[in-house]
Structure 1
Amino acid sequence: MNSISFKNCILFLCFVSLCSSSLVVSLAGDFEILIRVKNAMLDDPNGKLSDWVESADHNCCNWTGVTCDSQNQSVVSIDLSGFSIVGGFPTGFCLIRTLQSLSLADNSFNGTLTYRALSPCSHLHVLNLSNNEFVGQLPDFLPDLDNLRVLDLSINNFTGDIPASFGRLQSLEVLSLVSNLLNGSIPRFLSNLSELTRLELAYNPFKPSPLPQEIGNLSKLEHLFLADTNLIAEIPGSIGKLGSLYNLDLSSNLITGKIPESISELKSIQQIELFNNQLYGELPESLSNLTTLRQFDVSQNNLTGNLLENISALRLQSLNLNDNHFNGEIPQVLALNPNLSELKLFNNSFTGKLPANLGRYSDLEDFDVSTNDFTGELPQYLCHKKKLQRLVAFVNRFSGSLPETLSECSSLNYVRVADNELSGPVPNKLWGLNTSRLELSNNKFEGSISSSISGARGLSGLLINGNKFSGKLPAEICELPEVIEINLSSNQFVGELPSCITELKKLQKLNMQENMFSGEIPSSVSSWTDLTEFNLSRNRLSGEIPPGLGNLPVLTYLDLSDNLLTGGIPMELTKLKLNKFNVSNNRLYGRVPSGFTNAAYLRSLLGNPNLCSPDFKPLPPCSKPKPKPATLYIVVILAICVVILVGSLIWFFKATLFVRKPKRPYKITAFQRVRFTAEDIFPHLTKENLVGSGGSGQVYKVMLKTGEIVAVKRLWGGTQKPETESLFRSEVETLGRVRHGNIVKLLMCCSGEEFRFLVYDYMVNGSLGDVLHREKGGGLLDWPGRFAVAVGAAQGLAYLHHDCVPAIIHRDVKSNNILLDEEMRPRVADFGLAKTLRSEAGEGDVASMSRIAGSYGYIAPEYAYTLKVTEKSDVYSFGVVLMELITGKSPNDSCFGENKNMVKWVTEATLSSLPEEASENKASSTGYTGGLREIIDSRLDRSTCDFEEIEKVLNVALLCTSTLPMNRPSMRRVVELLKDQKFARLGSQ
């Protein structure tokens, strides 16, 4: 070996020795840093870092969460995600100079994140602190943080603005700030981050602002997630420059305008989410250019027009067009798509027949076309690929029978085809599918319930009312352990009720009225501890009323009327807190328990001639001793006196009638078949019968000679008073043509030059306002009763808005205009300000329009500057009524404080009562139920309160009272939300 080679060898050995020494020193240094950080800065309650312990070799590369470079054994990554670690930001980790990635996601790190804490971290490439508990302002970043590629601070509690230093992170590829409390504006400088591939700012309460036009500069952007960020105005045309974008999500904002044509330039796009905005117009035909598009959701907007054939030809996996104003027929080509798994078209105005081959060529899983105007048969191939899970087609005009192929659809778990014209028998095997809900109501189905229903072990709702089903109820129906609601009403079932039906321990509602059931009511009802509603009326049941019904803890609705029941009314029933009780038209006998001897229950007892009561005069007395002769003589004398007195009164009233008849001609219009005339009304319009007085006139309670009780509204003035004439005509034109169970019935009207009056059904319990605010709340101190009022009133308004042609706006929805009959069922009333939705107001509308449309506390905020009332104004007012039902307070209660009304008070109270995790935009199963208890009417019987249901109603109320009309649901949607048991916090179908 020569001297040069020898020297080179020596130098090489020295270099290797030096590198090894440096490696040992570096590894030892990382080891010491990790030990120090663990001991000083981390709380590890689950012992996830139990292997971070002292060792002789100072090697930390095998520790949990630590990754080292395979060549030089230096620490390059620390990932402690999901370890449930508690502490402040562990700055010490950044002292490891080789560290490139630090992920502390899904823990409980807290405190603020400061510039100083991050200053040692300039060498990081990845910083992930998502889903922790950091608070305060977002940190400023160092100007020399050139290496940072990924910054994820999502799901924390950061507030304020996005600092300007974020715009200088030139190497940043991923920026995620999702689900914080950022309330500044979305800054334009983010468009300077030319390397960005993912920009995620969703679910932050930013100030309302448009999507910056400069967004088009982010040419490498692949994922744009800005849902629920208070975006306004139109989508900028520059969106089309994002040629690499595959996911665009601008959902749940306030975006207006049309979908821009430039969106069709997104050649890489796979998913477009624009739902829950205020978009209008038609779908751009150029969308057909998006051949890579797989998910398209523009639901909950105001879009119109047809679903074009070339758009239907796209190879979409999901197509969501629900809650818009689309119309026309569905192109046949849609059924040829081999990718289609989700199709949601509900709440539109689509017509015609559905493509017959839907489901034949694709793995269709979710199919919802409800609330349209589809006709023809349901497609035969919906479950051809055995993947269909949800079949929802209610409120259409489908006809024919259910597809036989559905009986083999083992994947099917949710069926709702109510309110159609479907007929024929239900396939036997379909009864036995393990669905969670089977809703066939209001069709023309026939045949019997198959014994195979025992296979539906997960069924929670069986609703087949309003059909032609017949035969006996199979005992196998008792084998449904999860069933909550059964409704078999208005069918032709016969035979006895299976005694085993009492084994359905989770049953809450059992409705079997209007059938031909016979035999006795099962007596062993003690297992029905959750039963709230029990209706067997209008059958042929015999035997006695089971006393055990009185021991059911939450039963509030009991109707056994129109049967052949015998025996007495069990005393145990008086223990129930009933908002509906009816045993009329049976063969009951004996003494009525004192709990039912008041006027509210009179009609519920009639038709049982042998019921008696010693002190309830409408019923015959119970066993009186025969009168002695002297007593009988006195009775005869008194009877003669009564006859004379009655005769005198008749003569008097006839004289009064003659005097009070109008001196001039008058016109009578009857809207219902009535057994009285105007002549019978005039004598009773006296001060003694006056029950109310308002700005438009007076209301009288009139008992007619037929025994009927009616309400008469006499308007001030006559033809000489234009405003009276307008109110009269509006009421007559509106109520004269509507027929709905939740709208007050106008019986007749009478008009002359000097007077106007209208005759209605009399509502025994007055108005909802009376019940809630004027110490008449005895009948509505239970939540189920109030909820029933909410649903009924909503149905009445939905009928006006959606089922009347032309549609009708009430324009004065309030609790005082919701009347309650003897069973506390609501009737929307007072249509003096009502207006039809026509393009132009007629001349006759001028007078009524000159009045303020609505009542103080119920008027929608936009009325102050538009002076226009739309159907969304009614929705706002109804939202206030819902708040009244929950709180028991009037809209202008002084307890709200100065410059506050019901809506503002409830909204602030609701927000302040959110649990901490919910207020931090984290999902919570409990929502604000705990705080909700503080705003609920203190008079409500807490044992009847379903707090989840009350929370649902409150959420609907908050939606209805949204400041922007476009954000309010339609009344039809309100009804659906109130009825939907799965409606969660601010949720939708």
Structure 2
Amino acid sequence: MVSTLCRSPPPQPCSLLCSTLFIFFFFFAAGDSGAAALDTQATYLAKMKEQFPGPGMSRWDFTSSPAPDYCRFPGVACDHGGNVTGIDVTSWRLVGRLPPGVCAALPALRELRMAYNDLRGGFPAGLLNCTYLEVLNASYSGVSGAVPDLSRLRALRVLDLSDNLFTGAFPTSIANLTALEVVNFNENPGFDIWRPPETFTAMARVRVLILSTTSMRGAIPPWFGNMTSLTDLELSGNFLTGRIPASLARLTRLEFLELYYNELEGEVPAGLGNLTRLTDIDLSENRLTGGIPDALCALPELRVLQMYTNRLTGPIPAALGNSTQLRILSVYRNLLTGGIPADLGRYSDLNVIEVSENLLTGPLPPHACAHGKLQYILVLSNLLTGPIPPAYAACAPLLRFRVSSNHLEGDVPPGVFGLPHASIVDLSYNHLTGPVPSAVAGAANLTSLFASNNRISGELPPEIAAAAGLVKIDLSNNAMAGAIPATLGKLAKLNQLSLQGNRLNGSIPETLAGLRSLNVLNLSYNALSGGIPESLCTLLPNSLDFSNNNLSGPVPAPLIKEGLLESVAGNPGLCVAFRLENLTDPAPALPLCPGSGPGGLRRGMLAGGNVWAVVAVCALACATAALVLARRWVVRARQDAEHDGGAAATSPASSCRSYDVTSFHKLSFDQHEILEALIDKNIVGHGGSGTVYKIELSSGELVAVKKLWVKKLSWLGDRELRTEVETLGSIRHKNIVKLYCCYSGAHSNLLVYEYMPNGNLWEALHGSGCFPLLLDWLTRHRVAMGVAQGLAYLHHDLLFPIVHRDIKSSNILLDADLEPKVADFGIAKVLQSRSASSLDASTTTIAGTYGYLAPEYAYSSKATTKCDVYSFGVVLMELATGRKPIEPEFGDTRDIVHWVSGKVAAGAEAEALDKRLLAWSPSPYKEAMVQALRVAVRCTCSVPSLRPTMADVVQMLAEAAPPAGRTPKDNKLDDSSIKDKDPKAAAAPSPPP
């Protein structure tokens, strides 16, 4: 009975058939569902491409047949079943919104990486349904608005929303995401003021917690010491006050501790010396007092110790000399005393020593370069004594060697002058002796050689010309003798040559006239003899000083004309070839040269029998002028007749006949193609002088055409055209917009330029759209450097300097690679030779733009290169602060210059920096931004003579260059990218930067 009940009945034919059909339809339905799921994924990815138009998504090709294999698309990862598990479109420069329903369409999605894009519409709400999402990275993507409650993302391990534009309350709901291992909200200054809640300790797995620049305020909560899984804690750039809690000593796994740029005070907890895994600690830019703990410096893994700009006292612990791991020591701008540890660098691959602006005594550490990795020695402004260690001369990797303003003595090791990679060798303001050796020829990368105010002797070697990159030489106030080498004239980049206060003799080499980039030439207070070469006057209007020598003979007329007699004072043998009148004190009284009378040079010429030659030259000049005026009258009359007779061209053919073409480059187009495209739909802008068109040529190339109207009763249009054509047609520089050709006609003039697809810098910085997200500090610094190099070319590298007179961010164009090009020379002034016009020649109107105008130009109407320097300084402030030149916040009578200068004067430069960029550049970048801001302040000095030249600016920006292509954390881990943060670089007055 039991067996009968338990035994299954035999299968019947109908029942077997039904089962077979059921299984068939089940698998068929399942297969159909899987296909539908795959179709849904393809549909969603296609929707993503539609929502993010642009070149980035062109990599996803949906046109292939029979069906696109999206699992092979760049940035798409799938499992074996064809389900999308990851999307990575980092740095694709996408602009748009993430389509809704991402989690429903891609149920297997585990990783979504969309960093370095422009995500519109705030935080994508659809992501809140992705309960299986493990990695979300939307950093540097311009996401704005509030961050919603994230509690539903239970599987999330990595959350990176750094460098965005969030506002409102900080999302403390992350405390509910107990699977989190990495949390990064770095550089979101728009959050409301907040304090981290103790519920954060529920994130028991979190290893990396980066909350820098998130408007956190108050004391550092001591319960952070309970988050014992932390390996990286970064709270920099906030408003944290009080002491560093001793409880942080319980974070025994900690490797990185970043608390810089806060308002912390008190002593550094000695307990931090218990963090045996610590490799990087940065407590810089606070108000810390007391000493540097010995135990901290004895940590076995410590690689980076940065505590600069505090109020620390006491010695640098000797334990650092025993370290086998130390790479970077940066404790400048404190009150440290005692000596630099003698064994510093003896056992480790030391890369950076920055101890400037302290009260340190004793000698330089002799073993600093024992492992051949040292790149930076920065010990300026201390009380160091003794000689420069001979081993430093063999330290080939050195990039910056700066020991100025100490009490060092003894001969400088010859190899120091010839360090092959050093860009700056600064020995100034010491008691050093010995000569400048011929080994200086090996300094292939040297741009600045400073050794002023020492006891350097011997002759300046001719081999110095082999250091072809030299921009500045300052050997003033030493005991050098002998002749000035003629080879100095080969230093094409030389901007400053200061040799005053020595014992140099012999004549002034005429070869110095070849230094076309020179701005300062000071040979005063020497024993030079002979005459002043007339050829040196080609260096005017730059600073020339030949005073207090033994020079003789006539003073070159251009020096007299420019009122530079003070620059030749103290040379009893000098004379003038004609009587000087109306001189004012303290100009020296110079005698007439022998044979000169009241008629001066003119009388000499006539008395010499050259009267007929002078008459012939005058006659030729008059005839030439008459021909030019006659031709201009005929052309103008013909154009007026055509205009009055209705000859204005209305067809392409007649238009072409009415235009004369002047080309400056090989052209790939003709007049017809340009003229036929001058239609309304191609207009991209209007200016005060005409209309701008964007034209696509048949070749696919884009050009910009500026159409300037000719006004019958005004020569303004012609003057603007002539100025721009003469200026742009004669110059070639990668950072100056290229002018292809000019069409000159009866009713309009056309200038055809290369087209700049990324618009202008004003739009990029202040306009709407994605540009503010793309212009990180690396890009902004590159823009600043490019503009500076372009202006330096205009000011220093041409036969006649050019003052642009309207430098502003809207006149700086950006090409496809975001490289800058200076444009709009319509009001530029080409400075002719000094015999024809003056550098400070007055103009009849004030050109330029309010907010960028130098103060002296506004009241004197005189255009000088220093006006451009001032305007560039304003642009540099825009780049560093992200603000416009005039904003209501600055007050009724204040502008960005006064606002930034006030911040810098108060030591609060960081408050002025663009908050959107601070997290992009927290550790070396932030310092580089501050240095750039200091350069901008120097450029906008109210006294023109105190502003640097553009050649100087290029040098200073090069020194302030941020490490390229690195993240802040990378820079902490790789010493090779650390940048010189020399506080003296922008301080004034101080030894040369």
Question: What is the TM-score of this pair, normalised by structure 2?
Answer: 0.59
CA contact (8 A) 1:37 1:93 kept: no
- Give the corresponding residue for 2:116: 131
Amino acid at match of 1:56: P
> Residues 586 and 781 from structure 1, CA distance in 2 versus in 1: closer, same or farther, beyond 3 angstroms?
farther
Instruction: Find out whether 1:54 has 2:54 as its counterpart.
Output: no
CA contact (8 A) 2:48 2:99 kept: yes
CA contact (8 A) 1:157 1:920 kept: no
SS of the residue corresponding to residue 566 of structure 1 reads strand
CA contact (8 A) 1:783 1:941 kept: no
Q: Distance in 2 between matches of 1:308 and 1:943?
A: 43
Instruction: Find out whether 1:200 has 2:184 as its counterpart.
Output: yes
- Give the corresponding residue for 1:509: 496
CA contact (8 A) 1:33 1:95 kept: no
- Give the corresponding residue for 2:316: 330
Amino acid at match of 2:175: S
SS of the residue corresponding to residue 241 of structure 2 reads coil
CA contact (8 A) 2:249 2:272 kept: yes
Q: Distance in 2 between matches of 1:887 and 1:784?
A: 18
CA contact (8 A) 2:92 2:116 kept: no
- Give the corresponding residue for 1:482: 469
CA contact (8 A) 2:188 2:916 kept: no
Deviation of 1:348 (Å): 1.6
Instruction: Find out whether 1:258 has 2:259 as its counterpart.
Output: no
Write out per-residue CA displacement over residues 79-133 of structure 1, whole angstroms, 9 at most, x where no aligned residue. Answer: 3333445544344865633440xxxxxxxxxxxxxxxxxxxxxxxx333332222
Instruction: Find out whether 1:528 has 2:537 as its counterpart.
Output: no
Q: Distance in 2 between matches of 1:142 and 1:185?
A: 19
- Give the corresponding residue for 1:426: 412
Write out per-residue CA displacement over residues 194-245 of structure 1, whole angstroms, 9 at most, x where no aligned residue. Answer: 3322222222223344444444343322112222233322111111111111
Deviation of 1:9 (Å): 9.6
> Residues 216 and 914 from structure 1, CA distance in 2 versus in 1: closer, same or farther, beyond 3 angstroms?
closer
CA contact (8 A) 2:375 2:398 kept: yes
Instruction: Find out whether 1:466 has 2:421 as its counterpart.
Output: no
SS of the residue corresponding to residue 430 of structure 1 reads helix
Instruction: Find out whether 1:417 has 2:403 as its counterpart.
Output: yes
- Give the corresponding residue for 1:398: 384
Q: Which moved more, 1:217-226 or 1:51-60?
A: 51-60
1:684-723 superposed matches below 5 A: none
- 157, 179, 182: which is aligned to 2:163? 179
Deviation of 1:418 (Å): 0.8
> Residues 20 and 525 from structure 1, CA distance in 2 versus in 1: closer, same or farther, beyond 3 angstroms?
same
Unaligned runs of 5+ in 1: 101-124, 617-621, 624-771, 789-878, 957-971, 984-988
> Residues 975 and 603 from structure 1, CA distance in 2 versus in 1: closer, same or farther, beyond 3 angstroms?
farther
Instruction: Find out whether 1:216 has 2:225 as its counterpart.
Output: no
> Residues 420 and 778 from structure 1, CA distance in 2 versus in 1: closer, same or farther, beyond 3 angstroms?
farther
Write out per-residue CA displacement over residues 625-648 of structure 1, whole angstroms, 9 at most, x where no aligned residue. Answer: xxxxxxxxxxxxxxxxxxxxxxxx
Amino acid at match of 1:538: Y
- Give the corresponding residue for 2:83: 74
- The one of the two structures with greater contact order (alpha-carbon pairs below 8 A, sep at least 6) is 2
CA contact (8 A) 1:194 1:218 kept: yes
- Give the corresponding residue for 1:65: 75
> Residues 782 and 951 from structure 1, CA distance in 2 versus in 1: closer, same or farther, beyond 3 angstroms?
farther
Amino acid at match of 1:603: P
Kindly tell me the number of residue pairs found equivalent between the two proteins: 679
SS of the residue corresponding to residue 312 of structure 2 reads strand
Write out per-residue CA displacement over residues 851-878 of structure 1, whole angstroms, 9 at most, x where no aligned residue. Answer: xxxxxxxxxxxxxxxxxxxxxxxxxxxx
Q: Distance in 2 between matches of 1:904 and 1:389?
A: 32
Amino acid at match of 1:233: G
- Give the corresponding residue for 1:96: 105
Write out per-residue CA displacement over residues 639-691 of structure 1, whole angstroms, 9 at most, x where no aligned residue. Answer: xxxxxxxxxxxxxxxxxxxxxxxxxxxxxxxxxxxxxxxxxxxxxxxxxxxxx
- 568, 584, 605: which is aligned to 2:569? 584
Deviation of 1:69 (Å): 1.4
Q: Distance in 2 between matches of 1:41 and 1:980?
A: 55
Q: Distance in 1 between matches of 2:956 and 2:432?
A: 33
- Give the corresponding residue for 1:547: 534
> Residues 581 and 892 from structure 1, CA distance in 2 versus in 1: closer, same or farther, beyond 3 angstroms?
farther
Amino acid at match of 1:543: G
Q: Over aligned residue pairs, what C-alpha RMSD do you find?
A: 5.1
> Residues 489 and 355 from structure 1, CA distance in 2 versus in 1: closer, same or farther, beyond 3 angstroms?
same
Q: Distance in 2 between matches of 1:936 and 1:520?
A: 38
Write out per-residue CA displacement over residues 420-445 of structure 1, whole angstroms, 9 at most, x where no aligned residue. Answer: 22222222222221211000111122
> Residues 596 and 896 from structure 1, CA distance in 2 versus in 1: closer, same or farther, beyond 3 angstroms?
farther
Q: Distance in 2 between matches of 1:914 and 1:301?
A: 17
> Residues 448 and 941 from structure 1, CA distance in 2 versus in 1: closer, same or farther, beyond 3 angstroms?
closer
Write out per-residue CA displacement over residues 532-581 of structure 1, whole angstroms, 9 at most, x where no aligned residue. Answer: 211111101112223333323661x2221110112222222367698x95
Question: What is the TM-score of this pair, normalised by structure 1?
Answer: 0.60
Deviation of 1:294 (Å): 0.7
1:287-686 superposed matches below 5 A: 287-315=272-300, 316-434=302-420, 435-552=422-539, 555=542, 557-573=543-559, 582-591=567-576, 598-599=583-584, 602-603=585-586, 605=588, 608=590
> Residues 82 and 906 from structure 1, CA distance in 2 versus in 1: closer, same or farther, beyond 3 angstroms?
same
> Residues 429 and 162 from structure 1, CA distance in 2 versus in 1: closer, same or farther, beyond 3 angstroms?
same
Q: Distance in 2 between matches of 1:263 and 1:79?
A: 36
CA contact (8 A) 2:91 2:117 kept: no
- Give the corresponding residue for 2:715: none
CA contact (8 A) 2:241 2:264 kept: yes
SS of the residue corresponding to residue 238 of structure 2 reads coil
Identity among equivalent positions (%) equals 28
Amino acid at match of 1:294: T
Write out per-residue CA displacement over residues 436-486 of structure 1, whole angstroms, 9 at most, x where no aligned residue. Answer: 100011112211112111111110110011111111111111112221111
> Residues 980 and 160 from structure 1, CA distance in 2 versus in 1: closer, same or farther, beyond 3 angstroms?
farther
CA contact (8 A) 1:440 1:463 kept: yes
> Residues 615 and 83 from structure 1, CA distance in 2 versus in 1: closer, same or farther, beyond 3 angstroms?
farther
- Give the corresponding residue for 1:243: 228
SS of the residue corresponding to residue 256 of structure 1 reads strand
Unaligned runs of 5+ in 2: 1-9, 605-853, 871-876, 904-908, 961-980
> Residues 787 and 467 from structure 1, CA distance in 2 versus in 1: closer, same or farther, beyond 3 angstroms?
farther
CA contact (8 A) 1:30 1:75 kept: yes
CA contact (8 A) 1:231 1:253 kept: yes
Deviation of 1:774 (Å): 11
Deviation of 1:147 (Å): 2.2
CA contact (8 A) 1:250 1:273 kept: yes
1:840-989 superposed matches below 5 A: 895=893, 903=899, 946=950, 976-978=985-987
Q: Distance in 2 between matches of 1:469 and 1:410?
A: 23
> Residues 312 and 919 from structure 1, CA distance in 2 versus in 1: closer, same or farther, beyond 3 angstroms?
closer
Amino acid at match of 2:365: P
- Give the corresponding residue for 1:712: none
CA contact (8 A) 1:254 1:277 kept: yes
Deviation of 1:511 (Å): 0.7
Q: Which moved more, 1:777-786 or 1:245-254?
A: 777-786
Deviation of 1:904 (Å): 9.4
CA contact (8 A) 1:334 1:358 kept: yes
Write out per-residue CA displacement over residues 473-515 of structure 1, whole angstroms, 9 at most, x where no aligned residue. Answer: 1111111222111110111111111111011111111111111
> Residues 149 and 276 from structure 1, CA distance in 2 versus in 1: closer, same or farther, beyond 3 angstroms?
same
1:14-53 superposed matches below 5 A: 23-24=34-35, 26-31=37-42, 33-35=44-46, 38=49, 40-45=50-55, 48-49=58-59, 51-53=61-63
